[in-house]
Amino acid sequence: MFDLMDEWGPEKIVAVSDAKTGMKGVLVIDNTARGIGKGGTRMQPTVSVDEIARLARVMTWKWASVDLFYGGAKAGIQADPVSPYKEEILRAFVRRLRNEVPEEYVFGLDMGLTENDAAIINDELGTRGAAVGTPYELGGIPYDQLGITGYGVAEAVDQAVATTALAGRRVALQGFGAVGHAAAERLHALGYQVVSVSTAAGALHDPNGLDIPTLLGLRRELGDAFVSALPELKIESGTELFVDADIVVPAALQDVIDVSNAGNIKGRLLVEGANLPTTVEAQAVLRAAGVTVIPDFIANAGGVVSAAFAMDARHSAFRPETGQIFEAVSTKLRANTIQVLEETQRRGGTSHDAARSLAQERVKQAMQLRGKPLPVNA
């Protein structure tokens, strides 16, 4: 159950439902000391308040880590994104949050939502300002289609490889969605060999390196089911992160690396493309085993950098050049990767602890500048 009530937040939890559509959802605004709540909106049948609160907290640290002025928040809708009633459910959800949007929270993309859904949100609330990640044709920055988060994950991999002088360049990857496919594309362009990939429909492995341009073409044609087009490369689902590789990139689900399997990771570098892919206990196991970890809120922060551009674009007739966004993502994420590696070395412990303490310092300063808190138990 929900156990995240501490000095950082959450500031507000709004649970909503609608009997007509069966919609159930939640908005968690975690900490707005540095700016209004901004974080993606997830649609999955298993969404829970606890999960959204954990993800909202990740957003608090993510915004502070990239030093951009928004606060941590996240929304979740408990529904199947392939439901024929997706649009009705989505409209019912956003209608219920009229009081909070866009003054306290702006919708964005996360698992289960696409650019088109962002357009529907704006339509439902009658404003261009309710959601970011809208299509290009509506003046938005379609950051999932552009693959900006995955691009940033690959940039973080490349920087960590350079900083730690890692010799190998073989990558085990989980997930081939908005983040995973774009990470594979950029890693391939940077000369990395992706040896395993997966989708919800199955996993593929080729120790000599998968043909990424072919997989990208198959994905465009067949979606997640493309893995079934290559039966000779299939491996058991769930084993794709544990194959022989130098670098491991989970880019799909949360909590996939836990204390029961962390010891089976063969890579020496793990870069978190997904949010919360490693449990706290697993992070300690990886640390003890000498695996370098780049935390989620550092490695997948390309999404928030582009979301920050998109927040401005909501009120502007001008749109930034996409090249400018990619450049900003690369610069910020490479600098942050170096900083976190250095800080981890300086203070010991896990890289998550080191990265969190840097982010917390910024959030704490903002909270203090907004007024002196009462003494504890006042």
Residue 198 found at the interface with ligand NAD (CB under 6 A) = yes
Residue 274 Cβ vs ligand NAD, minimum distance, rounded to whole Å: 3
Q: Is 149 annotated as a binding residue?
A: yes
Q: Is 234 annotated as a binding residue?
A: no
User: Which 50-109 residues touch ligand NAD, going by CB under 6 A?
Assistant: 109
Cis peptide before 213 (omega within 30 of 0): no
Task: Mark 164-183 with x for binding to ligand NAD (rule: CB under 6 A) and - for no binding.
Answer: ----------xxxxxxx---
Residue 131 Cβ vs ligand NAD, minimum distance, rounded to whole Å: 14
Closer to ligand NAD by CB, 126 or 295: give it: 295
Residue 278 Cβ vs ligand NAD, minimum distance, rounded to whole Å: 12
- Which residue in 271, 276, 285, 236 sits closest to 253, CA to CA? 276
- Which residue in 80, 262, 244, 242 sits closest to 174, CA to CA? 242
Residue 39 found at the interface with ligand NAD (CB under 6 A) = no
Decide: 289 and 263 in contact? Cβ < 8 Å: yes
Residue 111 found at the interface with ligand NAD (CB under 6 A) = yes
Residue 272 Cβ vs ligand NAD, minimum distance, rounded to whole Å: 9
**Residue for token digits 């774009």?**
182
Interatomic CA distance for residues 353 and 333, integer angstroms: 18
* Helix intervals (H) in 237-350: 280-288, 296-299, 302-313, 322-347
Decide: 235 and 255 in contact? Cβ < 8 Å: no
310 to each of 63, 133, 181, 183, how far by Cα in Å?
Answer: 14, 7, 22, 21
- Which residue in 2, 10, 92 sits closest to 43, CA to CA? 92
Closer to ligand NAD by CB, 92 or 156: give it: 156
Of positions 14, 222, 253, 358, contacts ligand NAD by CB under 6 A: 253
Report, as residue numbers or ranges, the catalytic residues: 74
Q: Is 20 annotated as a binding residue?
A: no
> Order of strands across the sheet with 269-271?
234-235, 202-205, 193-199, 170-174, 247-250, 269-271, 292-294
Of positions 159, 199, 330, 336, contacts ligand NAD by CB under 6 A: 199
Interatomic CA distance for residues 41 and 28, integer angstroms: 10
Residue 41 found at the interface with ligand NAD (CB under 6 A) = no
Residue 147 found at the interface with ligand NAD (CB under 6 A) = no
Among all residues, whose Cβ is closest to ligand NAD? 177
Binding residues for substrate: 38, 62
Under the rule (CB under 6 A), what is the footprint of ligand NAD? 109-111, 143-144, 149, 174-180, 198-200, 224, 237, 251-253, 273-275, 300, 303
